[in-house]
Amino acid sequence: MKPFNLEYLGIFNTAEIYHNLTPAELTEEALFRGEGILSNTGALVIETGKYTGRSPDDKFIVDVPKIHKKIAWGKVNRPISLEKYNAIRAKMVAYLQGRDLFVFDGFAGADPDHRKKFRVINELACQNLFIHQLLIRPTAKELHYFGKPDFTIIVAPDFHCSPEIDGVNSEAAILVNYVDKEVLIAGSAYAGEIKKSVFSVMNFLMPKEDVLPMHCSANMDPVTHETAIFFGLSGTGKTTLSADPNRKLIGDDEHGWSENGVFNFEGGCYAKCINLKEENEPEIYHAIKFGSLVENVVIDEKTRVLDFDDARFTENTRVGYPIEYIDNAEIPGVGGIPKVVIFLTADAFGVLPPISRLDKNAAMYHFVTGFTSKLAGTERGVKEPQPTFSTLFGEPFMPMDPQVYAKMLGDKLDKYGTKVYLVNTGWSGGSYGVGSRMKLSYTRAMVTAALNGELENVEYKHDKVFNLDVPQSCPNVPKNIMNPRDTWADKNAYDATAKKLAGMFQDNFAKKYPSMPQEIVEAGPKA
């Protein structure tokens, strides 16, 4: 075999290039280089420094004529010129000279009909371990015939941009070049930037193949193979709720919905660790072992025991692990046409019902709206829940016009008769600071009832403010929490808060989607 090099990318004069090392080898390299330490369970534990979450203000898309009209430009999809991109790239390539590099070749897309090849180049062994475990790992034969990747990601956390010279916002930059099929990640050691860059690329490529890309988790019944998908932003419960011991896990975060069914983009999971307890989330707890990468969890230097309750570095503590570490994982990550869609929202106002049934128009409204609360640590600067409207429950990763994705979802709901529910995993009994977070056991029970059809024959009450149909009972859930107004001590405060949030829904929708069909507008809240 020819010696592997990266000269075709303009990366010359490197030191050693480690190509497709095993997790054991990458762990050894990371320990040797002082990038982290081992926990008592064998997981590699690292600190990511200043960047402990995604940095959305530092993400840019290269603006060139070929793709200009395809991108929904704005505060989320910021443009950067090709000239600035090339200048930053040239400096990054120069920075990599003389350095050891780690290269991983892998796939995104468990369905071979829609699979894409990614090459990820890292200066840190620990980050190469992360992406090795998060993407789909090729077989030896697939690696032999891997050939030219569809996309390349170059990651250099210790290379810092100069905002004044480079035309970016800080020393960190995530630059996506859809034409040259390349992503540059500079200045941030947070591994989630690599994962979400892959997702952003797939979200651009998949609609061309009539595949709906989705920021969701997915699981299925092990006997009937009936599939469910869970939409939601980070911290709303996608990973936790999909890791159901009674169902097969397809994936925890990123999927496509094709005419074949649902398929995972990834081969691993990236779970939050804050306040992790074995009794509540045993699947995730036991996945923290050799081969996993743990970010920013406090560790006892003597015993090497992890303290999941200590948030001194960040609330956004994380672990990345291969999906095989979940005992009930479905491998490969492919399921059937979804029977049920769950929209997850963490309502910090504490006024949305814990579960509601949506018709097609209401489903389209809430899919486009994507209301939730940004939870502490998921982005830099977020210290407590902040109400937000994230289009498609994944706005930071959706490069094209939201109506492209929304129309695809509506068409699929029509075609397959899929049922849709809105589930609030946020606060009950009051707003953040007064009420309490919805108990996970109750949310699990409501989701289970939605999946097995138990909510189809119960009494419903229409919530006039939020324009939602609310079930009045659910197995294994106290009846008094089904209507949020009943949980508030101050009913007048509830009414005022509910009207405030409904007004926020209306204002957001009118501003962002003025051309949306009237039947979808009418399906939303009524302030």
Q: Between β-strands 78-81 and 59-63, what pairing exists: parallel, antiparallel or unpaired?
A: parallel
Say if residue 375 is in the same domain as residue 445.
yes
Say if residue 179 is in the same domain as residue 219.
no
Residue 10 forms part of a structural domain: no
Question: Cα–Cα distance between 15 and 100 in angstroms, integer?
Answer: 5
Q: How far is CA 15 from CA 11, 21, 128, 206, 419, in A?
A: 11, 16, 17, 37, 55
Q: Between β-strands 44-46 and 293-295, what pairing exists: parallel, antiparallel or unpaired?
A: parallel
- Residue 339's domain comprises 212-267+332-521
Q: How far is CA 33 from CA 30, 124, 126, 282, 487, in A?
A: 5, 9, 10, 32, 54
Predicted pLDDT at 102: 98
DSSP per position, 119-176: EEEESSHHHHHHHHHHSBPPPHHHHHT--S-SEEEEEETT----HHHHSSSSS-EEEE
For the segment 116-130, what is each residue's pLDDT rounded down to a tens digit? 999 999 999 999 999
Catalytic residues: 54, 196, 215, 234, 238-239, 253, 318
Residue 307 forms part of a structural domain: no
The count of residues in the chain is 527
Q: Strand locations in 378-497, DSSP E?
A: 386-389, 419-424, 427-428, 436-437, 460-463, 468-471
Q: Strand locations in 9-145, DSSP E?
A: 17-19, 37-38, 44-46, 59-63, 78-81, 101-108, 116-122
Among the candidates 174, 209, 244, a domain finishes at: 209
Say if residue 199 is in the same domain as residue 245.
no
Residue 166 forms part of a structural domain: yes
∠ CA 273-275-277, nearest 5°, is: 90
Residue numbers of the chain with a pLDDT score lower than 70: 1-2, 375-385
Say if residue 337 is in the same domain as residue 199.
no
Say if residue 117 is in the same domain as residue 194.
yes
Say if residue 357 is in the same domain as residue 496.
yes
Say if residue 229 is in the same domain as residue 191.
no
Residue 279 forms part of a structural domain: no
Number of CB atoms found within 10 A of residue 439's CB: 15
Predicted pLDDT at 285: 96
Say if residue 245 is in the same domain as residue 102.
no
Residue 169 forms part of a structural domain: yes
Residue 278 forms part of a structural domain: no
Q: Is 101 helix (H, G, I), strand (E, B) or coil?
A: strand
| pTM, full prediction | 0.91
Q: Quick one: which of 260, 490, 267 has its CA closest to 252?
A: 267
Say if residue 185 is in the same domain as residue 244.
no
Among the candidates 209, 234, 251, a domain finishes at: 209
Say if residue 205 is in the same domain as residue 248.
no
CATH number of the domain within which 59 lies: 3.40.449.10
- How is residue 438 annotated by DSSP? P
Say if residue 220 is in the same domain as residue 134.
no
CATH number of the domain within which 350 lies: 3.90.228.20
Q: Is 412 helix (H, G, I), strand (E, B) or coil?
A: helix
Say if residue 257 is in the same domain as residue 393.
yes
Q: Between β-strands 116-122 and 151-156, what pairing exists: parallel, antiparallel or unpaired?
A: parallel
Among the candidates 192, 209, 226, a domain finishes at: 209
Residue 246 forms part of a structural domain: yes
DSSP per position, 170-235: SS-EEEEETTTTEEEEES---THHHHHHHHHHHHHHGGGGT-EEEEEEEEE-TTT--EEEEE--TT
Residue 44 forms part of a structural domain: no
Q: Structurally, how many domains does the chain consist of?
A: 2
